[in-house]
Amino acid sequence: MHIVHTIEDLRQQLDGFRRPAFVPTMGNLHEGHIALVKEAKPLGDVTVSSIFVNRLQFAPHEDFDSYPRTLDADAQRLEAAGCDVVFAPREKDLYPEPQTFKVHPATDVSDILEGHFRPGFFIGVSTVVMKLFSCVFAGMPSGVAAFGKKDYQQVMVVRRLVQQFALPIEILGGETQRADDGLALSSRNSYLTPEQRQEAVQLSKALRALGDAARAAPGVPDLPALEAQALQALARRGWKPDYLTVRRRTDLLPPTGPLADVPLVVLGAAKVGNTRLIDNLEI
């Protein structure tokens, strides 16, 4: 496995290949990332993973400076998973000058949910994804890029980005990997104290309960009322929830009418202590 830091060195390593399988990450890897690498690897002729903590998607009050950077351990895990090339650029390598050209995704999918509570987040995500795609896939006839479905809205934004720009890239959405108790694996789980880690599973339980209540309600359910009850129940446990909501999988808008035969996803974001966790369940 080769570890490279510059775009020029990356492209030298990819010279001669025609279909990269790419897994972008911010490092501090867990089994969810490794599962993506293993799932993507058979779909390409070279497997690439990037490790880059992207300043553009962090608000000033968020955890950019404290985000764990564990390159050596990450590289060992990626090599064991069969990754061929690790692209670990420094900030000056990926952004040698201020990134004044940015990708602004459509507001209908980027200004709701995560985009509402983290303004500008999806501009930062879309910009770095487009830049990483240009680094990895330049001159390639096709490729595949894998993203975890724990970041459900992000996968939808990236799919639309690829479609709108006619990029020859297949987007693979990998299923959320969970601990034995049901907690979605996340790099930010490392912030949790032992007590918070034990409590953290309540987010996935709240999403399951909300989904069950929505499906069980007769006729057209009063989703705002059910969502408010779910938020209040989590808040009573000491959480600071941003949202718990039932949405259509197709566009992440609230469903209207009866829910039978409508593919739905229940999404949530909440803080336990100072750690903000997100999760979702397709129902």
pLDDT digits (tens, 9 = 90+) for 65-118: 999 999 999 999 999 999 999 999 999 999 999 999 999 999 999 999 999 999
The angle subtended at Cα 6 by Cα 188 and Cα 82, nearest 5°, is 60
Specify the pLDDT at position 242: 98
Give the whole-number percent of the chain exceeding pLDDT 70: 100
Furthest-apart CA pair in the chain: how many Å? 60
As a whole number of angstroms, the distance between CA 246 and CA 231 comes to 12
Of the CATH numbers 3.40.50.2020, 3.40.50.620, 3.30.460.10, 3.40.630.10, which one belongs to the domain with range 2-174? 3.40.50.620
CATH fold of 187-282 reads Pantoate--beta-alanine Ligase; Chain: A,domain 2 (3.30.1300)
- The residues that are catalytic are 33
As a whole number of angstroms, the distance between CA 23 and CA 147 comes to 7
pTM of the model: 0.95
Assign 39 a pLDDT band (cuts: 50, 70, 90).
very high
Ranges of each domain in the chain? 2-174, 187-282
Specify the pLDDT at position 281: 98
| Half-sphere CA count of 113, side-chain side, radius 13 A | 27
DSSP secondary structure letter of residue 4: E
Of 193, 192, 255, 196, residue with least CA distance to 221: 255
With beta carbons less than 8 A apart as the criterion, state whether 20 and 86 touch.
no
As a whole number of angstroms, the distance between CA 134 and CA 72 comes to 25
Q: What is the pLDDT of residues 128-159, one digit of tens each?
A: 999 999 999 999 999 999 999 999 999 999 99
List phi, psi (to 5°) of 172.
Answer: -100, 125
With beta carbons less than 8 A apart as the criterion, state whether 230 and 210 touch.
yes
Mean pLDDT of 34-38: 98
Of 44, 38, 52, residue with least CA distance to 20: 44
